[in-house]
Amino acid sequence: MSTPTVYETAFLAAPFGAFLCRADGVFARVNPAYEQLTGYRAQDLIGQRKFIALHDPAELVRRAGPLNDANGAQGAHGIERFQGEWAYVKRNGTRVPVSLALAPLPGALDAHYIGIAVDTTRHSQAEARLWYVSYHDRATRLPNRDLFLERLDLSLARCRRADTALTVLVVEIDDLQKTREALGPDGVDLVLEYAGERLRRLVQAECSESVVGSIGGDQFAIALPGHGDDASPLAQQLIDAFARTDGAQPTRGATMSVGSARFPADGADAATLVRRAGVAVSEARRGGRGQLCRFVRAQETRATRQLELEQALRRAIDAREFFLHYQPRVCLKTGHILQSEALLRWRHPVHGLVSPAEFIPVAEQAGLIDSIGAWVMDTACRETGQLQRLARTATKVGVNVSPQQFANPRLLEQIERALEKAAIAPEQLEIEITESLLLTDTERTVRTLHALRALGIEVAVDDFGTGYSSLAWLASLPLNRLKIDRSFIAKMGADARSDALVGAIISMGHALELSVTAEGIETAEQAQRLRELGCDEAQGFWFSRPVSLQTLRNLLEPGVGLVCPA
């Protein structure tokens, strides 16, 4: 018996399948790895079958190329070199993907070919895992935005052919940030996972062709083929289903807002429909928790305007586009100015004066209110210091602080720095907060209020009467003033209940040893009625509109400070 050559040893010991075949494609030799790969023994292949016989016949029919030619009478003859991905059918009938390389064997006396076949199952599985990770949301395991848009495109194509409608819903979990603060990222993932699975089951029970995806953050998207105007009841069912959850479910207490856009009325492509449904859900959130809103063109115009404002707000401070006006607060007994409220104004280089009612909510949503609020505090304190030196009178200024600012742990530091730079006493600053702020994060709120009062800064509750705060809770807080919301003042005289309510607030404030200021006074009758009810101070157009610092200085001049006769 001759000793095997090093090449023959390498052929037999190779860890991948290898074979030799004649020019007609019939096996001449196979190594053990090839037997293991195919499930055939060497004697079943050598001289018995062509190498092409192990290929998936269905794949051979579908694909054109040199291997199809090898299936003919000439076998492998004429193939110079081949490499590609194919599939074998093993002896037990299972299909296995292989990477096949075939080339003429150099130096052989007879025309022979050498083939290499490598099982790519693991590679295919890795590719499948990579595809899954790339196109599915990690927390919910639902299709992500890219895959959802791809599947929505397919649904739209079917709807065009069938001339049927389709609705896209964008569903957003309300106040997910509170869950994040309470339970951390893992708790949020659990809520998202449960919500996604519940949405999928509820929707597919109503529409078997629906597509559900997780398109980022706290938002899900749903495509409902065949549903046009009739999608609103289903969307409402989703909102109601989550509102009813109880027990130990992860979404207990969570609500959802839903926006919808329809094909073809609201858009003809997937990206447009999802974007417009997203615009609608933003509108739904503005209406409160658990709301449903359908897309209309005006919403997109408003969203575009808000985006423009947000971008402009980011440069407004550095561009010196902000300025302050001051509205005097008047003693109802004497008519003298006691204090003024600093009011932020914005002069946009293109749009001119922009209403605070429009740009303040945009600043809050964009996370810009802290920097803008810090600018207002610095400027109000600085200009109050200037006013005191020019008018030679000690005047006070009230500055509104938003709930987002109030939650900033550096708020006290910012206020102290502003007072120090302006060289004014803490007693000359009043912080105005909303009534609703008193009902959120109460422990931190009380701690901050006590810290402000310890500095000597007064605290007023703005828009009082709209936040449903508890009287017992008010009595325990270190407050100085209640400012009655203008909505109650506007109804005085025409509505006896409003008169009674305003009177009750004034009496309650005095019983709690708080001063009371009425906002929005626009007529002499309102001013007189408030005097009769014992209100301490008033603020509104009847006395003075918001004015510049120079005009306020003139009003504080001796003999001019009597804004309105008592």
301: tokens are 């115009």
Integer CA distances (angstroms), 137 to 63, 65, 188, in order: 35, 39, 14
CATH architecture of 306-555: Alpha-Beta Barrel (3.20)
380: tokens are 């109000």
Domain boundaries along the sequence of the chain = 6-124, 136-295, 306-555
Could you tell me which of 436, 489, 483 has the C-alpha nearest to residue 462? Answer: 483
- The three-class DSSP label of residue 358 is helix
Distance CA 519, CA 503 (A): 14
CATH superfamily, with its number, for domain 6-124: PAS domain (3.30.450.20)
* 3-state DSSP helix/strand/coil % of the chain, to nearest 5: 45, 25, 30
pLDDT tens digits in sequence order for the chain, 566 residues long: 456 788 888 899 999 999 999 888 899 999 999 999 999 999 999 999 999 899 998 888 887 666 655 555 555 655 778 888 889 999 999 999 999 998 888 766 567 889 999 998 888 788 888 888 889 998 889 999 999 999 999 999 999 999 999 999 999 988 777 777 677 778 888 888 888 888 898 888 888 889 999 998 889 999 999 887 777 888 888 888 877 655 555 555 568 899 999 999 999 999 999 999 999 998 888 878 888 999 988 888 888 888 888 999 999 988 999 999 999 999 999 888 989 999 999 999 988 999 999 999 889 888 899 999 999 999 999 999 999 888 777 789 999 999 889 888 899 999 999 999 999 999 999 999 988 787 776 788 888 999 999 999 999 998 887 766 666 677 788 999 999 999 899 988 888 888 899 999 999 999 999 999 999 999 999 999 999 999 999 999 999 999 999 999 988 876 555 445 44
Distance CA 185, CA 294 (A): 31
Could you tell me which of 472, 473, 481, 378 has the C-alpha nearest to residue 433? Answer: 481
447 CB neighbour count, 10 Å cutoff: 10
- The three-class DSSP label of residue 373 is helix
- Name beta bridge partners: 482: 461, 516
CATH number corresponding to 136-295: 3.30.70.270
Contact between 67 and 52 under an 8 Å Cβ cutoff? The reply is yes
Rg (alpha carbons) of the chain, rounded to whole number: 38
